[in-house]
Amino acid sequence: MVLSLLLAAVGVALTVALAAGAIRAGALTALAGAIATVFGSVIVVVAGFAFLALLVLFVVGSVLATRYGFDEKQRAKVQEGTHGERGVANVLAHIVVPAALVLTAWVSPETLSTPGLAVVYTSALAFGAADTFASEFGLLAGGARSILSGKRVPPGTNGGVSLVGELWAFVGATATTVVGLVLFYLTRVPVPAPGIVLVIGVVAGFAGCQADSILGEVLENRGYLTKGTTNFFAMLATVVIALVLLGAFGVHP
């Protein structure tokens, strides 16, 4: 699974260039870009280019969603960062779990095989896309209600969901899973049957988004969690859901 020395050097150089580009474009702060470089390098060297590509496409999609209707979000004071940039907390919340999965599969393949890694890794990023799309596009639609009580809440409220936001969450989870499947097939990464991957990625990613909303309302609103830690624990929940579904389909992780 680990790349050869030459390919590893190319992968690291590519990761550095992509992070530098994201910093220059204002998508990441300098420190967040440095952290993304370290974790991204681990992912590409240990798991390969398909895994890095899926991570990069997730970041690109998130940036585009964040900047869509940004002026309106800024006027409502619900924008990400000052100018739409992602900081250290956001990057760590979305990259630590994928990197940990990759390292687990490398150190202990009997615990997490390559096909299992591909599915669970995709599911984790499917959650990230679902959560980002739901938040960024749902903010503009309005009509948010508490996920637990159903009462109307202001846009941007932790735990607030809307029909438009939920639809975008489904789109984010589905698009990420489909792209992941394509990348893995093109690079010949072993995966379970396409139908299994699609079901697990979409269901786990979408369910993780709901877990994020519940954690936000129950714990983040009370000051027990930050936005970053809420995202982190919701991604962990997504991984657990994906592993359970793998077992339900009779696929060894």
Collapsing DSSP to helix, strand or coil, 161 comes out as: strand
Q: What is the mean pLDDT of each run of 10 residues along the chain (253 residues)?
A: 85 93 88 94 94 94 80 65 74 95 94 94 97 87 85 86 93 97 95 96 97 95 93 97 95 84
Dist CA 172 CA 207 (whole Å): 12
Closest alpha carbon to 159 in 225, 83, 98 = 225
Task: Quote the pLDDT of residue 81.
Answer: 58
Do 98 and 239 form a contact (C-beta atoms < 8 A)? Answer: no
pLDDT score recorded for residue 73:
63
Q: What is the pLDDT of residue 96?
A: 96
Q: What does pTM read for this prediction?
A: 0.94
Instruction: Determine the pLDDT at residue 70.
Output: 65
Looking at the chain, list the stretches that DSSP marks H as alpha helix, in order from N- to C-terminal side.
Answer: 5-24, 30-47, 49-67, 70-75, 88-107, 114-141, 163-186, 194-215, 227-248
Q: Are 86 and 62 in contact (CB under 8 A)?
A: yes
How far apart CA 219 and CA 135 sit, in angstroms, is 18
